[in-house]
């Protein structure tokens, strides 16, 4: 690839060898649809399931592909390293365990034509490099790294939302537990430590309080809720003593992301994209719906219109 790419697809990877080929194929298809020079940058560290060998083969076979090998097991650090190694003026973070529907190539192409520093929020997101740099980029969080960044971007630049609420939009998702276990090799203690680290950093990244986490789990049986409360309290204590602190932006970062997504849809910001798809619609779990009904001022103010904008998983 000659010259500087306009678009950089950036990902962090660890032990996704079974899903990686389909993911990269889908990203190449989306990249071609943008009609812009693009590159794919993957930070891998360190895969032990054949993914690293596959990524090295990609470097040799595709000049648009760049590999950033490292030795960390930290999602935020991997995203930061991929971003720092990229060269595009627009950054598209992606997940190497997901295969994305080809139609998102047209959505990204239309976003590229907009003169805006607001981020695109959909099943695949896009942000200007200058926007990311202005808010400090990804932090080295084990979990919650994306919402930590996106809330800062939204608070300063806003977003244009076009979620499609289609279950077939991406390949079948891994559970959060399965996703994190790809980062762990070893004993049950190592797995428990990883779960704790993820929850601690999700509290930092989303600026959650224990009451928020419990509010998401109101439908759980009483015994499980009691166990969750103990675990969330321990993780919150760990977050309090962590050198990385939450960004205090008035509300927790989950509410910032969800409310701004709904606000964008209510205001019709997506019309600037001119995308020939049905109107945007967000896919939420019932726990999220319950949480937003109780905690979102925008939801309560727009209760009559909000139901048109989401579906329940």
Give yes or no: residues 33 and 117 share one domain: yes
Mean local confidence (pLDDT), 139-156: 97
What's the domain range around 231?
176-240
**Residue 99 is assigned to a structural domain of this protein:** yes
Give the global pTM.
Answer: 0.92
Mean pLDDT in residue range 200-205: 97
Q: Kindly tell me the sign of the dihedral angle through the C-alpha atoms of 75, 169, 258, 192.
A: negative
- Alpha-carbon gap, residue 34 to 28, rounded angstroms: 10
Same domain, 145 and 206: no
In a domain, 289, yes or no: no
- 180 against 87, higher pLDDT: 87
Query: Which of 240, 273, 296 is at the close of a domain?
Result: 240
Average pLDDT over residues 98-106: 93
Spatial contact of 187 and 228, defined as CB atoms under 8 Å apart: no
Q: What was the pLDDT predicted at 96?
A: 94
Q: Is the pLDDT reported for residue 281 higher than 90?
A: yes
Query: Residue 274 falls within a domain, yes or no?
Result: no
Q: What is the pLDDT of residues 150-178, one digit of tens each?
A: 999 999 999 999 999 765 545 455 555 55
- pLDDT for residue 1: 43
**What stretches of 175-285 show up as alpha helix (H) in DSSP?**
176-181, 188-206, 210-215, 222-240, 253-267
Residues 144 and 230 occupy one common structural domain: no
Once rounded to an integer, what is the mean pLDDT over residues 70-89?
Answer: 95
Average pLDDT of the residues in 275-296: 94
CA distances from 18 to 15, 21, 59, 243, 300 (A): 8, 7, 18, 35, 43
Bridge partner list, 136: none
Q: Which pLDDT band, with edges at 50, 70 and 90, does 224 fall under?
A: very high
Domain-embedded: residue 185: yes
Could you tell me the pLDDT band of residue 184, with boundaries at 50, 70 and 90?
A: low
């Amino acid at each position: 690839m000659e010259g500087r790419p306009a678009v950089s697809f950036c990902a962090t990877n660890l032990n996704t060898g079974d899903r990686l080929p389909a993911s990269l194929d889908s990203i190449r298809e989306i990249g071609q649809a943008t009609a812009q020079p693009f590159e794919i940058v993957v930070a891998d560290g360190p895969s032990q399931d054949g993914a690293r060998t596959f990524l090295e083969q990609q470097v040799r076979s595709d000049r648009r592909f760049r590999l950033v090998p490292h030795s960390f097991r930290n999602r935020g650090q991997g995203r930061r390293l991929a971003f720092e190694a990229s060269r595009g003026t627009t950054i598209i973070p992606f997940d190497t365990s997901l295969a994305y529907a080809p139609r998102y190539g047209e959505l990204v192409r239309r976003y590229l034509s907009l003169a805006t520093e607001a981020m695109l929020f959909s099943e695949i997101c896009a942000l200007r490099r200058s926007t990311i740099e202005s808010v400090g980029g990804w932090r080295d969080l084990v979990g919650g790294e994306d919402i930590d960044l996106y809330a800062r971007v939204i608070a300063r630049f806003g977003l244009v939302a076009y979620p499609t609420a289609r279950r077939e939009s991406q390949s079948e998702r891994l559970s959060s537990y399965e996703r994190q276990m790809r980062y762990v090799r070893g004993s049950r203690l190592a797995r428990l430590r990883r779960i704790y680290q993820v929850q601690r950093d999700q509290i930092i990244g989303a600026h959650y309080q224990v009451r928020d986490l419990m509010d998401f789990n109101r439908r759980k049986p009483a015994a499980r809720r009691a166990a969750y409360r103990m675990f969330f309290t321990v993780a919150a204590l760990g977050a309090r003593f962590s050198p990385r602190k939450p960004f205090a932006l008035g509300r927790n970062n989950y509410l910032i992301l969800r409310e701004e997504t709904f606000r964008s849809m209510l205001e019709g910001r997506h019309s600037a994209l001119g995308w020939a798809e049905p109107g945007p619609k967000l896919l939420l779990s019932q726990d999220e719906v319950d949480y937003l009904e109780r905690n979102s001022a925008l939801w309560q103010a727009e209760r009559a219109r909000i139901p048109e904008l989401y579906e329940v998983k």
